[in-house]
Structure 1
Amino acid sequence: MAKGLGRGLNAFFSEEEASRDEQIKEVSLNKCRPNPYQPRKEFEEEAIEELKTSIEEHGILQPIIVRKSIRGYEIVVGERRFRAAKMAGLEKIPAVVREMTDQQMMELALLENLQREDLTALEEGAAYRNLMEELGVTQQELSERLGKSRSHIANLVRLLSLPPEITQKVNEGLLTMGHARALLSLEDDSKLLSVAVRIENEGLNVRQTEQLVSRLNQPAVKSKAKEKKDIFIQEREDVLKQRLGTGVKIKKGKKKGKIEIEFASDEDLERLLHWFDQ
């Protein structure tokens, strides 16, 4: 079992269910359809081809898990094996039939992919968001349920607010999650795509990207007197922006000042409040 996933897959079945002898039956591949809650959108053809070769040589060593549906069966766990078996020309596949709710299917499909580290950052973030919406739970509750840190879930969900052109670059590995998090701090959304292209063309690392975003967030024109006066405030703003991953304004008056912190959504606000509680 992968570390950091709590009880993982075992969390969905009682000790009695886990220890019982489950009947394995042969089901027709034509009666099986993919899990509608599968968080993984792309399957590597090379990996499926390798599994197909193994199935042709050794057969299917582990049954898939399905649930009964109106038109046959829905795959809960084992879509790779299902795809490879079809590619190998099999007509039937060994399967364990279990009764499951939609919520259990969503969680189990996510856990299976997390344990194999199969998901991209965006697929994982979308799966977390879907689970929170479907289950009506907070990031903290989902964190405890899946054994993932709350900050990890919050950061991945925040990535979904980026433009599709940028999320595509993350999915393709052209930008890292660190790059994407730095881009979330850019105050002028109209500059996001041009900065992403610059990161790719110039091969900027995450630290360099953070510095670039910080410079772009500074006002274009400043009087020399004001620049000297506010240099300490500007440095503190930059530190907070990098630590919080969002826009920050420090306004200093004659007797008192205030700090303005931007947040993109209710979940983002929760993330920031949790950061201050630490």
Structure 2
Amino acid sequence: MAMAEETPSRLGRGLAALIGEDTAFALGDKEAPPPKGVREVPIEFLRANPFQPRHNFRPEDLEDLANSIREKGVLQPIVVRPVPGEENRYEIVAGERRWRASQAAQLHKVPVIVKELTDAESLEIAIIENVQRADLNAVEEAAGYERLMQQFSYTQDQLSKLIGKSRSHVANTLRLLALPDSVRGLIEEGKLSAGQARPLIGHAEAEKFAREIVAKGLSAREAEALTRKPDPAAASTKPKSLPRAEKDADTLALEKNISDQLGLKVEISYSGDKGGEVKIAYKTLEQLDEICRRLAGRTAQKMQ
């Protein structure tokens, strides 16, 4: 389904723009009075949201919330949308954890606010609510961003405005999806943080280093240092490199020109009919993101 045409104009305005000021206020403030339009419906009328980016609901957290609901009830209404073609059936947009805990607390009815929302809006709200509450692990967050980009044609800039995060945060989070399944599993289990995992992206021994980082309890900075250590066995068997050919003045001048513009070390090699390569050395993920941003900017200018 295509993204609603009015969606980009709302980017950056958060939950209030998508589901209304009163509803958003209730979602963020448990002491707020119930907003207009709240009604109670049988709990079995509700079903889970297929666009829900969160997949892991810790049993202990649900039990704690269920105990609170038994004592005080559901203090924040669940935002739902009607299921097309089905009477008295609603799909949860925001508040699935409350719904699950209410089931555990054996409630018969729950307070809801019914909203007419598109698929894109439903996914937007689910992501915003979870990100603002830090309920998503980094892999779930990345998967939600990717779905908005692939299914609803969002750009990274639009996403950053939508969720109130920097573009580099969005880019770095999306890069986590390139990790092996086993490493992403460690992130989803809470054993590995996004900061610890980023140095492993694209690394040939990502799984090995991930296990070592978890076992030793290394910090993100220590994890980055670990992945940079040379392998002694590989170094001893590495063939000696041939002496490099001298570069001509034009190549040296071009290297210096690009290096000055990027602020990074640049090497250009040329092998006649075989072509050549340009190497740009970076030390931090922020520098890599800046390189990508500049390249993407140049590409966009050429296309205009």
Q: What's the TM-score, normalizing by structure 2?
A: 0.69
State the match for 1:34 in structure 2.
Answer: 48
Unmatched runs of 5 consecutive residues or more in structure 1:
230-239, 241-247, 263-268
Quote the Cα distance in structure 1 between the aligned partners of 2:130 and 2:38: 23
Unmatched runs of 5 consecutive residues or more in structure 2:
1-10, 26-34, 247-258, 260-264, 282-287, 298-304
Q: Counterpart of 1:119 in 2: which secondary structure?
A: coil
The reply on whether 1:136 has 2:150 as its aligned counterpart is no
Q: What's the TM-score, normalizing by structure 1?
A: 0.75
Q: Counterpart of 2:178 in 1: which secondary structure?
A: coil
State the match for 1:274 in structure 2.
Answer: 293
The verdict on how the C-alpha distance between 1:201 and 1:86 changes in structure 2, with shifts beyond 3 A counting, is: closer
The verdict on how the C-alpha distance between 1:152 and 1:41 changes in structure 2, with shifts beyond 3 A counting, is: same
Deviation per residue, 1:191-230 (Å, 9 max, x gap): 2222222223344433333233234489732539969x9x
The one-letter code sitting in structure 2 at the alignment partner of 1:93 is V
1:93-112 to 2 correspondences below 5 Å: 93-112=110-129
Give the alignment partner of residue 98 of structure 2, picking from 70, 73, 81: 81
59-68 vs 5-14, which moves further: 5-14
Give the alignment partner of residue 68 of structure 1, picking from 76, 82, 87: 82
The one-letter code sitting in structure 2 at the alignment partner of 1:146 is I
Q: Counterpart of 1:160 in 2: which secondary structure?
A: helix
Quote the Cα distance in structure 1 between the aligned partners of 2:290 and 2:241: 37
State the match for 2:224 in structure 1.
Answer: 210
The reply on whether 1:11 has 2:17 as its aligned counterpart is yes
Quote the Cα distance in structure 1 between the aligned partners of 2:39 and 2:128: 24
Quote the Cα distance in structure 1 between the aligned partners of 2:175 and 2:231: 19
8 A Cα contact 1:154 1:271, kept in partner: no
Quote the Cα distance in structure 2 between the aligned partners of 1:206 and 1:183: 11
Q: Counterpart of 1:43 in 2: which secondary structure?
A: coil
Give the alignment partner of residue 120 of structure 1, picking from 133, 137, 142: 137
Deviation per residue, 1:2-30 (Å, 9 max, x gap): xxx943211214679989x7322221111
State the match for 1:197 in structure 2.
Answer: 211
The verdict on how the C-alpha distance between 1:260 and 1:75 changes in structure 2, with shifts beyond 3 A counting, is: same
Deviation of 1:140 after TM superposition, in Å, equals: 1.4
Q: In percent, how many aligned pairs have the same letter?
A: 40
8 A Cα contact 2:49 2:93, kept in partner: yes
- Report the count of equivalent residues: 247
Quote the Cα distance in structure 2 between the aligned partners of 1:16 and 1:210: 45
CA RMSD in angstroms comes to: 3.8
Give the alignment partner of residue 52 of structure 1, picking from 63, 66, 70: 66
The verdict on how the C-alpha distance between 1:179 and 1:275 changes in structure 2, with shifts beyond 3 A counting, is: farther
Structure showing greater Rg: 2
Deviation of 1:146 after TM superposition, in Å, equals: 2.4
8 A Cα contact 2:22 2:36, kept in partner: no
Quote the Cα distance in structure 2 between the aligned partners of 1:81 and 1:16: 19
Give the alignment partner of residue 259 of structure 1, picking from 273, 278, 288: 278
Quote the Cα distance in structure 2 between the aligned partners of 1:205 and 1:82: 36
119-128 vs 135-144, which moves further: 135-144
Quote the Cα distance in structure 2 between the aligned partners of 1:84 and 1:29: 11
8 A Cα contact 1:185 1:213, kept in partner: no
